[in-house]
Structure formats: structure tokens, C-alpha cells
Amino acid sequence: MNWTRKDLIAIEDLRPEEIVHVLDTALTFEEVGQRDVKKVPALRGKTMVNLFIEPSTRTRTSFELAAHRLSADVVNIMATASSITKGETLKDTALNLQALHADIIVIRHSSAGAAKFLADRLDVSVINAGDGAHEHPTQALLDAFTIRQKKGRIAGLNVTILGDILYSRVARSNIHLLTKLGANVTLAGPSTLVPRVFEQLGCRVCYNVEEAIADADVINLLRIQHERQRQTMFPSIGEYATIFGLTKERFARTKPDALIMHPGPINRGVEIDSDLADCKRSVILQQVSHGLAVRMAVLYLCASVQPVEEAA
């Protein structure tokens, strides 16, 4: 397998074998995390910029740590503390970063397409860390890594994604990845947040939670993205928890080896019962650990591709 992408923008762009290559590469980095010295010199001398125009703790920290473990230098730029508040455009901010000889820009932005916009205009590697409700490719990759570690495969598994699908970039990236690798994807939640149009991506859409999770091998819960909803999409948090939350009673009626996943941050008592979040079949914290290995793999692969020199 030859990796030839300098950017990672969307899972939708990737071929199945490219996805598998990232997951295989992540396996070697997972091993690095278990050594005495959890660091390799693969990206020594390279500089990664975390350009976060939208708040994030988990993803930014994960990318930062991943870069450190590859021996790259890291600069963090937060929207609130940057020239963006002084009216600088995204393109100008990025061109300035490139002029400072950054090699990788990891961007999180509230607008869909922001990462692609930069990738098309810059020579440096651009990694999408979430663009609006479009995609969050490294989250889908770490979810897939976790499923593969726990279940040994992805093809043929029943994966139910439960919650706010409409506003979720995690859902979109997961749907693309899982269907490309041959899993059966079911989407469930309030009909206002799970439009039927998602069936066109090859998923089953289901409005009854019990039915949606009955034969699931993996239940991936999503948080309600209040910050993205322009209007209230369901009557109340209490009602959502009652009708769509993963309660002990509901979970007791699933397959005995069904896994609970969640990209975080979790809202205990809303989409997931607090005890379930901490139970043995919940792999939520392992997802976080795997995120580190997967992001190391993505940074290593993308930053190691040299731009094609144009013929003189």
C-alpha cells in the first residue's frame, strides 16, 4: 500500500484500503505508547500547528500529544487569542503559518469545507479536526480502530449510531467509514435529528431505540449538539433521555457482547445512563487512548508525503 495523500480532509475521499492502511499503521503506534520511552523521532524537525477556530479540548490535546510523540514541534492557535478576532481571514492566517515554515496544519472550524479550502490553497499538510457538521475523519478512524481491536473485524458488524445525526460530523465520518468497510449501519434518534435522507448513504434509519439496538454489535452514542442547533429539535432534555437515552433497561435487552462507544464529551443521564458509561462494555476511555495512536498514524503518513514537484 502506497500512501500518497498529504491532507486528510474527509473519510468520503478515502478508498477502503487507505482506511485499513491508517488503521494498520496506528497499530504500530499503539505499541509505541506501551514503551518506557513513548516517543519516536519520525517527525523530528517538523512543525505542527493546531489551528482551532472552534473550541475543543479532547481533539486538540490528542493531536498535540500525538505530534509530541512523533518528535514534532507544536504551536497552538485558539480563535479567541488570535488575529482572527482582529478581522484576518482564514486564508491569510494560514498563509502566515505557512510562511513560518509550518509543515502540518490541523484545523477545527465551525464551517463545513474549511479544511478543504485550506488544503486547496496551501502546500503544507492539512488535517481536518472537524469542520462544521461535515466530517471529523480522525474520530471515525479511532472509532474503527477501537471496533477492530474489540471485535477483530468491521465487515458484517451491526453498528447503531444513536442521537443527533443531523448536526454530527462524527456521524457522517462514521457512516462513510463503516459502510466502506462493509458494516451495517443503523441510525436512530428523534426524527427531527435523523432525517430519512441519510438512507441514501446506505444506512437504515430507525426511530424506535429498542429496535435500533436489538441486534447491534456496537452502539455509538452521540451528544446533542446544542451549539449547532438553531432551534429546539425536541421538547426537553428529560424527554430525550426517557425516549432515546441508553438506559440500563434498554441496554439489558441488547446482545450480551454489544459495546458502548461515545466520542465525548458525554452528558451523563442524557444520552447515556451514568453507570453504563463506566461499565465494562463501555470503551469510551479506550477510544481516547486509541485516538492518540490513530492521530500519530495520520500525522506520520500525511507529513511524510512530499509534494509532487512540477516539471520545469
Partner 1 sequence: MKQTCVMDTVAMDRALTRMAHEIVERSEDLGKIALVGIQGGGVRLAQRLAAKLQEITGKAVPCGMLDITMHRDDLSLRKKPPVARQTNIQFDVTGRHIIFVDDVLYTGRSTRAAMSEITDFGRPARIQLAVLVDRGHRELPIRADYVGKNIPTSKEQKVRVLAEEVIVE
- 126 versus 213: smaller Cβ distance to partner 1: 126
271-300 positions binding partner 1, by CB under 8 A: 300
- Provide the residue type at 274 as one letter: S
Q: Out of 57, 83, 208, 304, which residue is the one contacting partner 1 (CB under 8 A)?
A: 304
Q: Is 65 in the site for partner 1 (CB under 8 A)?
A: no
Q: Is 1 in the site for partner 1 (CB under 8 A)?
A: yes
Q: What is the DSSP string of 116-160?
A: HHHHHH-SSEEEEEEETTTB-HHHHHHHHHHHHHHHS--TT-EEE
Sheet strands side by side (includes 104-109) = 73-78, 47-52, 104-109, 125-131
Q: Out of 16, 19, 42, 87, which residue is the one contacting partner 1 (CB under 8 A)?
A: 42
Q: Is 47 in the site for partner 1 (CB under 8 A)?
A: no
Q: How far apart are CA 185 and CA 204, in angstroms?
A: 6
CB of 97 to partner 1, least distance (A): 20
First to last CA, the chain: 29
x/- site string to partner 1, residues 22 to 41, per CB under 8 A? ---x-xxx-xx--xxx-xxx
184-213 positions binding partner 1, by CB under 8 A: none
**Piece of the chain touching partner 1 by CB under 8 A; list 171-179, 223-231, 276-284, 304-312:** 304-312
Q: What is the DSSP string of 52-116?
A: ESS--SHHHHHHHHHHHHTT-EEEEEEGGGSGGGGT--HHHHHHHHHHTT-SEEEEEESSTTHHH
Query: CA nearest 224: which of 212, 235, 215, 214?
Result: 235
Is-contact 161 176, C-beta < 8 A? no
Question: Which SS3 state, helix, strand or coil, does residue 162 take?
Answer: strand
Q: Is 306 in the site for partner 1 (CB under 8 A)?
A: yes
- 32 versus 112: smaller Cβ distance to partner 1: 32
CB of 248 to partner 1, least distance (A): 39
CB of 306 to partner 1, least distance (A): 5
x/- site string to partner 1, residues 70 to 89, per CB under 8 A? x-------------------
In the complex, the residues that contact partner 1 under the rule CB under 8 A are 1-4, 21, 25, 27-29, 31-32, 35-37, 39-42, 45, 70, 300-301, 304-306
